Structure 1
């Protein structure tokens, strides 16, 4: 089951908890969050607990929508987005890894857009994630 490493509804995770659990990849989590902060100053940052089947997740939002979700997992984390059609078209036309485009093209389309999640085990996907942040903020 794909569930957060933080499952206790009564204990919102702290930065210390996150550092301890993510260990060597914690700096990548911070790099991604900081990328959003630089491109969209003062985003609303909040932990969210949608239910016991998911556990805690972290999101950075602009005034009306989530820009990015960060989902802590055992030994890695996921970065998740929801893209509308205009953003999806831009992603398909840019130089992002083909596997990301395939995942996005295959994602079910909802009223709010298509969901995309990327596993982060190392720095390899960071450049593509930063491009996706740019597209998300622009749309």
Structure 2
């Protein structure tokens, strides 16, 4: 079983397929997309097949900057989110839940930053992602 519910290499997912699989959580996916576009002016979506283990994952870009990855699952989705050192410092000073701060601090550091995955099943979880986007894309 792949990380993504979409695991057939020859079948690139589309919005209709995504809405069916995400169910009621599709509204949170749409809210995240609209937030990036409305607040930061540019949103590019790119489906990428990462192999049988990962399946199809949706990348969201603002201009040419990677914002996040969406990993579709049955009736929910996960977000893979990377923050650099300055953004992690802003995160620590934020009002976001302590478990998110802890996960970022404990995440292995790579050249692009620290990456964690968060499940999105509720409005509150979606709001946390919007706050993380603000931190990541702030100047």
Structure 2: gaps (5+ residues): none
How far 1:64 moved relative to its partner?
3.3
Kindly provide the CA deviation profile for residues 82-123 of structure 1, in whole angstroms up to 9, marking residues without a partner as x.
110000000011100111111111100001100021101121
**TM-score scaled by length of structure 2:** 0.93
Provide the residue aligned with 2:91 in structure 1: 91
Corresponding position of 2:9: 9
TM-score in terms of structure 1 length: 0.93
Q: Which runs of 4+ in 1 moved over 6 A?
A: none
* Count of paired positions: 139
| Distance in 2, Cα, partners of 1:97 & 1:8 | 36
Aligned residues: CA RMSD: 1.4
Please name the residue that 2:51 is paired with.
51
Contact 2:36-2:62 within 8 A present in 1 as well: no
SS of residue in 2 equivalent to 1:3: coil
SS in 2 for 1:11: coil
Deviation at 1:73, TM superposition (A): 1.1
Q: Structure 1: which 5+ residue stretches go unaligned? A: none
Taking the TM superposition and a 5 Å limit, the aligned residue runs for 1:25-64 are 25-64=25-64
Q: Which is worse superposed, 74-83 or 57-66? A: 57-66
Does the 8 A contact of 1:12 with 1:56 survive in 2?
A: yes
Matched, 1:77 2:77: yes
Pairwise CA distance, 1:2: 6.0
| Distance in structure 2 (CA, Å) of the matches to 1:116 and 1:31 | 20
